[in-house]
Amino acid sequence: MDPSIILAIKFVHVPTCKKMGLSEKDITKEVVLQSRCSKHPNVLRLIDCNVSKDYMWIIMEMADGGDLFDKIEPDVGVDSDVAQFYFQQLVSAVDYLHVGCGIAHRDIKPENILLDKNGNLKLADFGLASQFKRKDGTLRVSMDQRGSPPYMAPEVLYSEDGYYADRTDIWSIGILLFVLLTGQTPWELPSLENEDFVFFIENDGNINWGAWSKIEFTHLNLLRKILQPDPIKRVTLKALKLHPWISRSVSFAGDDGLCNDPDLLAKKLFCHLNVSLSNENYLKFTQDVNSNNRCFSTQPIGNELAELEHDSVHFKTLSNTQRAFTLHDSNMNGNSGTFMTQEAKWTQFISNDMAALQFHSEENCLNDLLKDRLQFNPNKLTKFYTLQPMDVLLLNLEKALTLSQIRVKPDLFANFEKLCELLGYEKVFPLIINIKTKSDGGYPLSGSISIVKIQEDLKNVGFERKTGDPLEWRRLFKRISTICRDIILIPN
């Protein structure tokens, strides 16, 4: 194998899986099914797997472009051409699974869509997949409830006689398209207890308010064909492939349906990303907690306190500089021997980093700032850079978390000083703050904030989601960043 090729390895701890009630057949099922579906350019390829002592390891191709969900702007979505491109590739991948492999994915959502180095879609995570078609061509009837609530088809919840798993995939494709076009899910769960879903049913899908009002008529017509609550009336993949949105090509795709202009795709994909640090947003997030006008998108949970810890688990991985979309190193020693201040030097250092550029002012188009060609890579965009000392940084984070209704152990900086006494300043990094909260809909949302010292005073503050809606996680990141706006290092 070419030594320059980077692969991804997934480790599964078998004893832990068995404690959770999974049999060896359950554990290996994902590998077996994905191995049968690895011959399509838009499905993440499984290369090899084996069992060693207590672990099963799985070797897969590396998704160099990272996650799709990290690049969807909440309440905005992505560029229409980008949505069309990924819709085409997803339909192609699912058609291959259904027709060529007889397998239903059953968990299609942004978290399970990865991107390669050219920005092409890679459908991943076959943990809930099932073989819906028998060898003789007959279809199995599914009875179990599986999937992610916002993307789950209604028959999964309500069908007493069972349902066909392949048709639930088509519904999930429709929800994902809605998210790409609007940056929102249409409902938390397709249940009769959910007001948004009931309104959709009562109006036969003819809605023109809220997020639905942002969608063009052609796209609305397509969504109504896909989001048919009755699976018998739901559009088939065969009919879906004849829709103009499938047959019409986009400017950055070749005849094979793959991206032939990654730079154009990247610029279109990221043009909607924006973390506004405006006075209006700052006031919205920092006004009195008791104010009736206060805007919350998270809720407090339990009695657990977020506190600062040394992240020994990720010491090596987080200690590396995480630079997204940087093509070449700036001249960090200055030009022609000219001395540069730390701020000027590090501002130049992050000037091609998409994570830093998303803090552009709303008056400036992001494309005006993107002077170099962009490259996809797997680094997260939910992060910011700062040159502020730790006392200022931690004071701002503590304030932001508290205003976001996340309970924090008082005086994070005092805890930092104790860690420094124990480990020393240079060895205390990376640091981590684990947080737990709930989304506005009451669903769990958890993750961590990591603080990584890059060099000199430059630090990277990254937000890593563990559970919950990725759109809600990005909303939380944007709110905390806005409250911390005075300490964020911004290019230009």
Q: To which residue do tokens 């084996």 refer?
A: 50
Residue 253 has pLDDT above 50, yes or no: yes
Q: Can you give the pLDDT at residue 120?
A: 98
Residue 293 has pLDDT above 50, yes or no: no
* Average model confidence (pLDDT) across the chain: 88
pLDDT level of residue 362 (50, 70, 90 thresholds): low
Is residue 390 helix, strand or coil?
helix
Q: Can you give the pLDDT at residue 375?
A: 79
Choice among 206-210, 322-326, 485-489 with the minimum mean pLDDT? 322-326
Number of residues assigned to the chain: 492
Residue type, 38: S
Catalytic residues: 107
Q: Which residues pair with 163 in a beta bridge?
A: 142
d(CA 315, CA 320): 9
pLDDT digits (tens, 9 = 90+) for 389-444: 999 999 999 999 999 999 999 999 999 999 999 999 989 999 999 999 998 778 89
Asked if residues 460 and 379 have their Cβ atoms less than 8 Å apart, the reply is: no
Q: What DSSP designation does 383 have?
A: E
Contacts of residue 122, Cβ cutoff 8 Å, sequence gap at least 6: 42, 43, 44, 61, 63, 113, 114, 115, 116
Q: Which domains are delineated in the chain?
A: 7-61 (3.30.200.20), 66-270 (1.10.510.10), 279-487 (3.30.310.80)
Residue 318 has pLDDT above 90, yes or no: no
Strand 46-52 and strand 55-61: pairing? antiparallel
Residue 479 CA, distance from chain mean position: 17
pLDDT digits (tens, 9 = 90+) for 447-473: 999 999 999 999 999 999 999 999 999
Q: Can you give the pLDDT at residue 23?
A: 84
- pLDDT greater at residue 297 or residue 114: 114
Q: What DSSP designation does 320 have?
A: S
Is residue 75 helix, strand or coil?
coil
Would you list the DSSP string of 462-483?
A: EEEEEES-HHHHHHHHHHHHHH
- pLDDT greater at residue 347 or residue 65: 65
Residue 320 has pLDDT above 70, yes or no: no
